[in-house]
């Protein structure tokens, strides 16, 4: 479905024809103008009209309809195709979910296709409409603003994940909850959230390097105004910070998992030492009682007057000695 369709002339939104073909023709006739069409999860039939009017490449159209793409940047004859993966953080469930945002960029048109609920298009459009100077860059301004908003939200999500990790560390190293049987599953679930986040941020580095300009990043990208290269370099710097944070989070959560498993192993060893100590203490009187329970006829101690209290006393003394020995060594 078409969410919004507008013509922007000289940095300002103007009223234009409702027909897509007429809107594109009007934008080209104005000169310094472009048309921006926003769609949300369109069907193949709904998207056919846009495809025909703007001459979008069939492979890019297929990617836009099916979604489930990695962040990328592809150049076709008449348009530029970019894929971003906006992410959302759910504080109630501490989960990260990602949507998809496809952008078709042409000489005087922008077509955005949104899948999911995480794309910041409404706020981006409102912000751009309040900044005519940026809007005068044309379709490039839209691509930059969307990329900038997406990466800025990455930074917010990274901060939230860092807070969750600190809480998880506190739980793991807590003397009360560190041995909880559910802690390992929580750590693994948190690691899965980081991997979901990484799938959105990691592949985006290459497209932003290309958009930032020529040179080491590769040849200049068509349909992108050269004046926007510094802006894309700034977005790329922010993305680099995000990727460094993701790498740091992934290493830390792996260390937390290793520390938790080590703690569990130590606690199990402590439990085994306690069990072994009590078993050793129980074995001593059992052994003595077993010897005197054999009922041999010729056992001189059986006929002594003080044999029974003497054996009981020996048992008590041995038990006390063993208890103090194990206690001193920290086994009890």
Cα 201 to Cα 84, 213, 238, 330: the distances in Å are: 9, 20, 11, 49
Condensed to tens digits (0 to 9), the pLDDT of residues 194-208 reads 998 999 999 999 999
Q: Say what the pLDDT of residue 54 is.
A: 83
Least confident of 134-148, 209-223, 239-253, 271-285: 209-223
Alpha carbons 158 and 197: distance in angstroms, whole number: 9
Condensed to tens digits (0 to 9), the pLDDT of residues 243-262 reads 999 999 989 888 888 877 77
Alpha carbons 159 and 163: distance in angstroms, whole number: 6
Least confident of 82-91, 94-103, 109-118, 215-224: 215-224
The secondary structure element, H or E, covering residue 104 is: strand 100-105
CB atoms within 10 A of CB 296: 8
b (16+ CB within 10 A) / e for 221-238: bebbeeebbebbeebbeb
């Amino acid at each position: 479905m078409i969410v919004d369709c507008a013509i922007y002339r000289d940095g300002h939104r103007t009223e234009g024809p409702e027909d897509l073909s007429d809107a594109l023709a009007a934008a080209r006739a104005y000169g310094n103008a472009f048309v921006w069409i926003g769609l949300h999860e369109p069907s193949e039939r709904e998207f056919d009209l846009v495809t025909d009017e703007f001459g979008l490449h069939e492979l890019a159209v297929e990617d836009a309809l099916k979604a489930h793409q990695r962040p990328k940047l592809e150049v076709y004859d008449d348009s530029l195709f970019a894929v971003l993966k906006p992410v959302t953080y759910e504080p109630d469930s501490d989960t990260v979910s990602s949507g998809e945002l496809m952008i078709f960029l042409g000489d005087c048109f922008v077509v955005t296709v949104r899948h999911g609920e995480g794309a910041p298009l409404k706020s981006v459009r409102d912000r751009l409409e309040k900044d005519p100077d940026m809007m005068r860059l044309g379709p490039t301004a839209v691509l930059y603003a969307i990329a900038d908003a997406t990466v800025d939200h990455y930074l917010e999500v990274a901060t939230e994940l860092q807070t969750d990790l600190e809480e998880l560390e506190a739980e793991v190293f807590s003397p009360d909850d560190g041995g909880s049987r559910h802690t390992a599953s929580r750590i693994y679930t948190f690691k899965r959230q980081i991997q979901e986040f990484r799938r959105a941020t990691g592949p985006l580095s290459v497209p932003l390097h290309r958009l930032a300009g020529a040179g080491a990043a590769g040849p200049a990208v068509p349909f992108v105004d050269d004046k926007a290269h510094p802006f894309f370099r700034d977005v790329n710097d922010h993305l680099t910070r995000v990727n460094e944070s993701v790498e740091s989070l992934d290493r830390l959560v792996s260390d937390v998992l290793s520390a938790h498993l080590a703690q569990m192993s130590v606690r199990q060893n402590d439990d085994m030492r306690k069990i072994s100590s009590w078993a050793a203490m129980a074995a001593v009187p059992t052994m003595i009682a077993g010897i005197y329970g054999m009922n041999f006829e010729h056992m001189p101690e059986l006929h002594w007057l003080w044999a029974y209290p003497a054996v009981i006393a020996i048992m008590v003394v041995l038990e006390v000695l063993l208890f103090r020995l194990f206690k001193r060594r920290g086994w009890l």
